Each structure stands twice: as C-alpha cells, then as structure tokens.
Amino acid sequence: MNSPVRGDASAGRAREQWTGQYGFILAAIGSAVGLGNIWRFPGVAYSNGGGAFLIPYLVALLTAGIPILLLDYSLGHRFRGSAPTVFRRLGKGFEALGWLQVVISFVITTYYAVILAWAVRYLFFSVNEAWGDDTLSFFVGDFLKVDSPGINAEIVPGIFWPLIGLCAERGHRHGARHRRRPGAREQAVHAASRRRRL
C-alpha cells in the first residue's frame, strides 16, 4: 500500500515520506475534494443558475484553486517541513500564512467532525424514522435544541458525546501503539538491579 514511511530529514529527525505517487495522489484528491463539493455544490449550482454556475466555478478553479494547491505542494516538497516552517524559511514575515493554514485545517476538521456526528446520530434515527413528517423542526428543535436563531453556547449531548467517544477511542488506540519504551539508561539500571538480586 502506498502510505507515508519514515525518511531522512536534514534536522536529524525522521520525516514521513510517500512510498509512491498513487497514494499521494489519492490523499491529495481527498484533501482537495471536500465535503462541500459533494454535499453542498449541487444545491448551490441549482440555486445560482444551474450549468451557468459551472463557468465561474471552473474559471476560479483553474486560475486560483489549482495553481495555489500546486504552489503549496511544491513549497512543502522543496522545504520539507510543516506549513509554518515552510513559510518561515521563505521569510520571517510569511510564517503567519503557515499558521493560518493550520488554523483553517483545525476549523475544517472540527466542522467535519460535527457533520460526521450528525450522520452517525441520523443513522440511528433512520431505524424508526424518528424525524417524522416535519424534518426541519426535528433537526432544529429536537436534535440541536435551538429555540431562537443566533449563537448558542449550550452543549448538544447528541453531538458532544459521540465526539468524546471517538476522541477517547482514538486516544486509546494511539496510546496502545505508542507505549513508552525504556531507554538505554533505564535498561542498564534495570539489568544492574537484577544482577544485584542474584
């Protein structure tokens, strides 16, 4: 399988590198084609003129989207670092652009996690069609528990607890894989104490 593997790095730490182009291309498509292109784009295209909406979309894609994506990939390949590191190597004033990419990635990841939690909950709701005839009032009133429009800081248990469960499960898997192994010094101390007991 084409997955990232450890490679050599100039700073002494191993950096992951792709074993082949096939896996990288699939990962790049997966990061570029977001949930909005599948879930939201058909509705936006329909409400903004149907096929005529494709013309400005393709112009924006070809003149801005793809060139900026290729620039980002080529900078990452050239400087072999995280986004803030790459832009800092270009110039001290550009590091903020790298941190902006990190913040945007965090926001998108949070947004997608909420959408996935909705999908998981609706999977269970679909068993008995819990939404009934009025799907909007079920979603806004019963599921999200929103009384009036605006910003609401209350925790929605139907979204919060599945997210906590996913995070806890992932942390458990990550911890089981990366248990701390004793270093050379700890092994020597342990071996010396074992010899003394004999």
Q: What is the pLDDT of residue 103?
A: 92
pLDDT of residue 88: 92
- Taken in order 90, 96, 97, 101, the sign of the CA dihedral is positive
Q: Tokens in use for 114?
A: 């909420």
Position 9 scores a pLDDT of 47
Per-position pLDDT tens, the chain of length 198: 455 554 444 555 666 777 888 888 887 777 777 766 767 777 777 787 777 878 888 898 899 988 988 888 888 888 888 889 999 999 888 999 999 989 988 888 888 877 877 888 888 888 888 888 888 888 887 777 777 766 766 777 767 777 788 777 776 666 655 555 555 566 666 666 666 666
Which residue in this structure is represented by tokens 């790049």?
28
pLDDT at 63: 94
Please tell me whether the overall predicted TM-score, pTM, comes out greater than 0.85 for this model. Answer: no
- Give dist(CA 191, CA 31) in Å, integer: 49
Both tokens of 178, joined, read 């990366």
Quote the pLDDT of residue 184.
59
